[in-house]
Amino acid sequence: MSTAISRRQFVSMMGLGTLSLLLSNTKALARSIETRIVEVSNNGQLRPPQLVNKIIKTAAEWRAQLSPTVYHITREAGTETAYTGRYWNEHTSGIYRCVCCNTALFNSKTKFDSRTGWPSFYAPIAPENVQEKSDRSLGMSRIEVNCSRCDAHLGHVFDDGPEPTGLRYCINSAALLLKPFV
């Protein structure tokens, strides 16, 4: 019995091996993409911006970590019904963090009552910690707000907020986790 392989078999095996190697390296590369964020202590102290690895997970990994509602809002750009989220009428002082990755997003000092039924802030805790991108869904032109570290959908930003910025970051409660000041 001969163990020799044909040229076609050899090329095919090499192609599959190369493809496998590329796929594994692509996954490793995707998990090592960096972004700049500002870390914030639980008492609100900001640290200098630093490079950190983005948090990249598969849909299955996110589903295992998050409730169905939180998954829908943060990973599928859903929106909770107005006046139903746990933070729309919250007055506790603290840091609002990303429910998916714990990145500091908003300080309660910038929260205001927008009378919209969603938690609203006039500024993020650090501009590095949120990303803004154009959203033309639902026949509207809006600016979507995402977490810079894990790309979680947070909500939208509008230009009808109070001074000093004139902005209203209208954020889903389900995308947030409030950590009271210590």
Strands 176-180 and 168-171: unpaired
| Residue 170 annotated in active site | yes
**Encoded amino acid at 124, one letter:** P
Check whether 147 is labelled as a binding-site residue: yes
Instruction: Return the exposure string of 136-158: e unless at least 16 CB atoms fall within 10 Å of the residue's CB, then b.
Output: eeeeeebebbbbbbbbbbbbbbb
100 in a labelled binding site: no
Distance CA 43, CA 66 (A): 26
Given 130, 170, 171, 178, the catalytic residue: 170
What is the DSSP track for 31-55? TT-EEEE--B-TT--B---EEEE--
**Radius of gyration of the CA atoms of the chain, in A:** 21
| Beta strands per DSSP E along 39-147 | 50-53, 94-98, 104-107, 111-112, 120-121, 130-135, 142-147
Give me the active site residues, please: 170
For the annotated binding site for Zn(2+), the residues are 98, 101, 147, 150
